A and B are shown apart, each in its own frame.
Chain A
Amino acid sequence: MALALQTFPTVKDANAALKAAGTRYLGGGTLVVRAANEGDVSVSGLVRSTEPVLSAIAVSGGMARIGASVTMAAIARHPELGALAKAVRAVGGPAIRNMATIGGNLFAPAPYGDFAVALLALDATVSTDNGELPIETFLAGRNDSRAIVTSVSFTLPKAGTFRFLKVSRVKPKGVSVLSIAAVLEQAADGTISSARIALGCMADRPMRARAAEKALLGKTLDRDGIAPALAAATEGTAPITDPIASAWYRAEVLPVHLGRLLLT
């Protein structure tokens, strides 16, 4: 069955059209066209907007604002977003990265959405046609969100504070067993002064590892210092089970991989 696609020059008009039942927003196509190809009959119409602001990347004053239609490939090659290169290259193969958008990644269900894990660790702000929301609030309500995401903004991490790790069985690229992103700031004596850790695949959407974050404060990044954080890593998680790994396996290996991320 074919889907009717409607293209609008402005986000506002596209958002009005999105109110019709069965209508989904078309970004890069890697989620909604995939769903339609798979026979998801809940998708009967597609809407998109070609407003230029959706494709813009603006970096100034230590802040980055990335339009929702910007692709993973465009982020990867942007000279001022080098800190995120590892996280953005974790998404898909080259063709997927040329298509998949940052806006779409916010909606990708686990085991997908590795870049949204990085955005959660970066404490990003999601702008929609309806206003701005902290990413955590946005992710919690994303299933019912009908406002088109226009951009994602965040403070660029200070040099050396952002870490990212994706675990997959297939090399060099495969679906996530899990992914971890962290922004760690250290005091002059090397102890952790602030920590934000986000996990992918440890719930149906990216989540914070709050217990581990708390357990890291005031500690040094060595085997003894991180032990309490590793012990608390799975607190509050509800990992997914899929053909890649069971929930049990994901919970078992999370502390191991968090330890590797913290000690590198």
Chain B
Amino acid sequence: MAKVPVQFTLNGSEEAEFIDSGTTLLNALRDKIGDTSPKGGCHQGTCGACSVIIDGELRLSCLTLAETCSGAAITTLSGLSESGVLHPLQRAFLDTFATQCGFCTPGMIIAAKVLLDHTPNPSRDEVVEALSGNICRCTGYEPIIQAVLTAARANSQNAA
């Protein structure tokens, strides 16, 4: 099958690859580019483990074709920490034990990042709504909600 070129910015770096037409962004990121932070859970748009940020919007990489992302700016969990320093959301997930098996964590943190980017001081209901497309089978969600609220508080204290 003919290969098609794709070019986009991934976590601030230019990426250019030739891929099979119809390859999902999830497979392109994991298998071609080597960013394994988005996870393939259900491949059905149900679990949210593959969540990425495309041009500022939360998307599911398992249902997005890579070639439709040409020219886009994509952020994955790998792009959140800076020179070894964890992002406040990552720190909060560790501190509040919001990670157990860890499989949903990349999607949860990405979904939470989009929320905090638009709503720096969310209510609990807004956090629940923002994470409503992400499934966790370990934690019962409460530690995750607390982690997002904790990160939001930490951000606002740093800003003050």
- B145 smallest CB distance to A (angstroms): 12
**Beta-carbon nearest neighbor of A44 in chain B:** B22
The A-contacting residues of B in range 113-137, CB under 8 angstroms, are 114, 128-134
CB-defined interface of A1-22 with B at 8 Å, one 1/0 digit per residue?
A: 0111100000000000000000
Q: Which of B1, B21, B134 has the most CB of A within 10 A?
A: B21
Partner of A33, one of B48, B51, B65, B131: B65
Could you count the A-B residue pairs with CB atoms below 8 Å apart for me: how many are there?
85
Tell yes or no: B57 within 8 A of A by CB: yes
- A216 smallest CB distance to B (angstroms): 33
Residues of B within 8 A of A2 (CB): 1, 20-23
Per the bound structure, the CA–CA distance linking A94 and B51 in Å amounts to 10
Q: Which of B45, B114, B128 has the most CB of A within 10 A?
A: B45
Tell yes or no: B63 within 8 A of A by CB: yes
- Number of contact residues on B: which range applies? 20 to 34
Partner of B59, one of A37, A38, A98: A98
Per the bound structure, the CA–CA distance linking A48 and B21 in Å amounts to 13
- A29 lies within 8 A of B22 (CB): no
Assess A33 versus B24: contact at CB under 8 Å? Given A5-B67, A93-B48, A94-B111. yes
**Beta-carbon nearest neighbor of A28 in chain B:** B63
The B-contacting residues of A in range 175-210, CB under 8 angstroms, are none
- A60 smallest CB distance to B (angstroms): 27
Known A38-B44, A73-B57; further 4 A-B contacts with Cβ < 8 A: A93-B131, A93-B132, A94-B114, A173-B132
Can you pick out 12 interface pairs between chain A and chain B where the beta carbons lie within 8 Å of each other? A2-B21, A3-B21, A5-B4, A5-B68, A33-B63, A33-B65, A37-B63, A46-B65, A93-B132, A94-B114, A95-B111, A96-B133
Q: Which residues of B contact A (CB under 8 A)?
A: 1-2, 4, 20-24, 43-45, 48, 51, 57-60, 62-65, 67-68, 111, 114, 128-134
